């Protein structure tokens, strides 16, 4: 699902236990090193808090075009 916000289009991603930010950045943004864009979109200071078993089922925003 995509949602339009002031900074552009954001994609909602439901976190799975085996998700990694670098892999999500590669999938959605085309660059694994762009994981920090996902952190910024979620106001996250700790990237590891967004993914992994503890975050399973939560929804994170991924910046798009």
Q: By 3-state DSSP, what share of the chain in percent is helix, strand and coil, each rounded to 5?
A: 40, 25, 35
Per-residue pLDDT of the chain (65 residues; tens, 9 = 90+): 444 445 567 999 999 999 999 999 999 999 999 999 999 999 999 999 999 999 999 999 999 85
Task: Kindly report the pTM of this predicted structure.
Answer: 0.83
44, two tokens: 């996250």
Residue 10 to residue 7: CA distance in whole angstroms: 8
5, two tokens: 């916000």
Residue 5 to residue 14: CA distance in whole angstroms: 18
């Amino acid at each position: 699902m995509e949602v339009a916000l002031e900074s552009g289009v954001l994609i909602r991603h439901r976190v799975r236990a085996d998700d990694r930010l670098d892999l999500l950045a590669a999938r959605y943004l085309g660059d694994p090193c762009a994981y920090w864009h996902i952190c910024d979109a979620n106001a996250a200071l700790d990237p590891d808090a967004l993914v992994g078993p503890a975050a399973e089922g939560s929804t994170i925003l991924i910046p798009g075009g």
